[in-house]
Amino acid sequence: MAAFITVLTEAMPAGLLPQMGADLRVSESLIGQLVTLYAIGSMITAIPLTATTQSWGRKPLLMTAIVGFVVVNTVTAISTSYPLTLAARFFAGVFAGVVWALIAGYAARMAPAHLQGRAIAVTMAGIPVALSLGIPAATFLGASVGWRLSFGIMSAMTLILIAWTIVRVPDFPGQKDDSRLSIAGVFMLPGVRSVLFVTLAFVLAHNILYTYIAPFLAPAGMTDRVGAILLIFGVSALASIWITGALIDRRLRTLVLLSIVLFSLAAATLGVWGGVPAMVYAGVAAWGLAYGGVPTLFQTASAKNAGEAADVAQAMIVTVWNLAIAGGGIVGGVLLDTVGVESFPWALLALLAPTLAVAWLARHKGFPATGHH
């Protein structure tokens, strides 16, 4: 539920651009910056905040971040000032960075060692559910009852989450001061850098296409099908996270390599047959299958490589992930304005080739074959 609310908070303005723009009297591209600022908030604060709060109990830290969501989404719902809304979005990103750095390790500590990957998969299921059901529902609500109510409903959902967390979620201690590794020390752990590179390149490729999916579909005459395309993507991503949860504790390396290959095939399909609607649907379904399990796979690989320092390693993943979100918006925008949307699939392939190479070579540390522990 925390993952679901976090993703919903991040992506909701994208579905509500026209209404929010009209209401706050700014252009749609400026409303788009509400997503960018959120990503920047996560990107610049995840590592310092995670390092600073390493000794905190895990439950008080989670509660602080969730209460933060109630505040920022309520401010967003009632704000009539664009600068105030921007500030609220920046802090939403800050709280999100804390949540993402925290929940994978938290979920892993609730489960026995041989089921830790599956526990993370269950937690991360909130992401595709938010993308496939939450965003379309929020967009529909925004169009029918107004975007402010959409943010208000999120605050109400978060209050339910707070009560639920107080009652049901166990607390775990933070790390003792003497057992902490420095940020540089974690970065130099074997395998951590390969996981970070694969995360950055894969998620950057994903966000170039995801952020600009509407203009990408225009040449095929599918602009009115954006909702259907995102639904197909979301449903495939849900299937993907189910498969990932079933296999991750035995087949992490295979799943990572398959995701990269499948995404590459999807990009090639969209590049060659981007004007054929049936092939676009097939390509998007393959892309969803490739992407759905990836947050779980990369966070699990990161946690396994970092051991005791898992939370700091997660904060690094959060940082490169948000760098990739912001980068996808920027790189995609530049490509869109200079060469046009037909360049997207080839840009994706250019990013995915080194991604596959690095993941393939990281067979001892990073993405080890089963047996190399």
pLDDT tens by residue, 108-139: 889 998 888 888 888 888 887 887 788 777 87
Give the domain ranges of the chain.
Answer: 1-180, 181-373
- Is the pTM higher than 0.85? The answer reads no
pLDDT value of position 24: 92
Task: Decide if domain 181-373 falls under CATH 1.10.15.40.
Answer: no
Lowest-pLDDT range of 10-19, 106-115, 312-321? 10-19
pLDDT tens by residue, 64-82: 999 999 999 999 999 999 9
pLDDT value of position 125: 84
CB atoms within 10 A of CB 299: 30
Higher pLDDT among residues 185 and 159, named by residue: 159
pLDDT value of position 373: 44
* Nearest Cα to Cα of residue 329 among 168, 143, 204, 174: 204
* Nearest Cα to Cα of residue 159 among 91, 66, 65: 66
- The CATH code that applies to domain 1-180 is 1.20.1250.20
Lowest-pLDDT range of 18-27, 74-83, 265-274, 281-290? 18-27
Spell out the alpha helix ranges (H) of the chain: 2-15, 17-24, 28-52, 58-78, 82-110, 116-124, 126-129, 135-145, 147-168, 183-187, 192-211, 213-217, 226-272, 277-292, 294-306, 310-338, 344-361
Same fold, 1-180 and 181-373: yes
